[in-house]
A = this chain, B = another copy of it.
């Protein structure tokens, strides 16, 4: 097994995927979903092996849960593939059309990116999800999952590849990397000109490794340090609702809140009640002096707490003098992921939205909506916190590009 040969085979296969009609791609995805259901017993058996190996290596309960499959989860994986089949096809869409003064008809037409390498950990569902999204957008995909899920990933990929074969398409369009050594991953992310994009998903260490060593373009987000700023003109009931939803419903995800900023003029009215509600939900509070004067239960926040993605029931709090101080705090400590303002003052809302470069900026809505599905993309292949190509949640369009198609009747420039 040589990763460059594998990637070249995937690239060659991509030509046939790119040439499929929308109907052809949708039929392929439906038959992949069928194959996943038909292989449920095999996939569960493979998963049991992964679980046994993980337990033998003493892997933690959270990781085990992400790894574990059951009938319902396999059903869910197949349903997600069918859902992608039902999404609109971005390929072939004309994003710009103009007739030039010399009669040239100039169009920009959406086309697949090419070969996308996914590098991920633990969750075996990513194997099917990413393959479905990449194929739907006409791309080939190279899947490099974690060693802890290798048997599950192999069983899932086998089902997907059988569906490719049944459709007369090359298996290499969905390529699973079986050699999980670091050297092979390193070679993969340096295949400039063969692989068009790398999307790493997982812990910050993995993502930094990929970003540091890749020669292929990488779309990534390191972390989500999401802020809620409660303005002086906020509706305190609404603000508290956003706070509890953002912090407590799923603290382990990247669009959960990590920091609360409160305007000094509303702090006395807002903070003690909000803190009581948070504490009732089991949230540990870490605040600055002004916060602790109002919320004695809060521990003292360190400077590092304000840049921390806790991924846990912990919240950093600071009282600020105005919206500009809030913006300054977010610019200094934020991760360009998602920020929320609670205010009834349109001028403040505008200032907040315009003053930030974050990928998602929200007014009076929970940070938990920062998700491709919730924002209307239909599905999500990743989130980007660097502005090039895609910023924020990425759907099908974000794994395509546009080419120029120019039609003339003999125009020359000289």
Measuring CB to CB, which residues of chain A are less than 8 angstroms from any residue of chain B? 18-19, 98, 100, 104, 106, 111, 113-114, 192, 196-197, 211-212, 215, 217, 235, 238, 241-242, 244-245, 249, 349, 353-354, 357-366, 368-370, 374-376, 386-389, 391-393, 401-414
Given the complex, which residues of B lie within 8 Å of A245, measured CB to CB?
Answer: 412-414
Does B391 contact A402, Cβ atoms closer than 8 Å?
yes
Does B404 contact A360, Cβ atoms closer than 8 Å?
yes
**Chain B, residue nearest A219 (CB):** B388
Q: How far is the CA of A247 from the CA of B394 in the complex (A)?
A: 41
Does B241 contact A376, Cβ atoms closer than 8 Å?
no
Q: How far is the CA of A369 from the CA of B405 in the complex (A)?
A: 12
28 inter-chain pairs at a CB distance below 8 angstroms, sorted by A residue, are A100-B374, A106-B376, A197-B388, A235-B410, A238-B409, A241-B410, A241-B412, A244-B412, A361-B406, A362-B405, A362-B407, A363-B405, A363-B406, A364-B410, A365-B406, A365-B408, A365-B411, A366-B411, A366-B412, A368-B412, A368-B413, A368-B414, A369-B406, A369-B413, A374-B413, A375-B406, A388-B389, A391-B401
Does A357 contact B408, Cβ atoms closer than 8 Å?
no
Q: Which of B114, B362, B387, B401 contacts A406 (CB 8 A)?
A: B362
Q: How far is the CA of A217 from the CA of B218 in the complex (A)?
A: 8
Main secondary structure, interface of A, reads mixed
Given the complex, which residues of B lie within 8 Å of A403, measured CB to CB?
Answer: 357-361, 391-392
Q: Which of B192, B360, B361, B404 contacts A392 (CB 8 A)?
A: B404
Does B414 contact A249, Cβ atoms closer than 8 Å?
yes
**Chain B, residue nearest A401 (CB):** B387
* Closest CB pairs A-B (n = 6): A365-B408, A245-B412, A387-B401, A389-B389, A368-B413, A238-B410
Given the complex, which residues of B lie within 8 Å of A100, measured CB to CB?
Answer: 374-376
| Given A241-B410, A391-B403, A212 contacting B211 (CB threshold 8 A) | no
Candidate in A106, A215, A360, A368 with the most chain B CB atoms within 10 angstroms: A106
Closest chain-B Cβ to A71's Cβ sits at a distance in Å of 26
**Chain B, residue nearest A363 (CB):** B407
Q: How far is the CA of A139 from the CA of B196 in the complex (A)?
A: 26
Given the complex, which residues of B lie within 8 Å of A411, measured CB to CB?
Answer: 364-366, 369
Given the complex, which residues of B lie within 8 Å of A358, measured CB to CB?
Answer: 403
Candidate in A363, A366, A411 with the most chain B CB atoms within 10 angstroms: A411
Does B386 contact A217, Cβ atoms closer than 8 Å?
yes
Does A363 contact B111, Cβ atoms closer than 8 Å?
no
Closest chain-B Cβ to A36's Cβ sits at a distance in Å of 28
Closest chain-B Cβ to A9's Cβ sits at a distance in Å of 15
**Chain B, residue nearest A384 (CB):** B401
Given the complex, which residues of B lie within 8 Å of A413, measured CB to CB?
Answer: 245, 249, 366, 368-369, 374
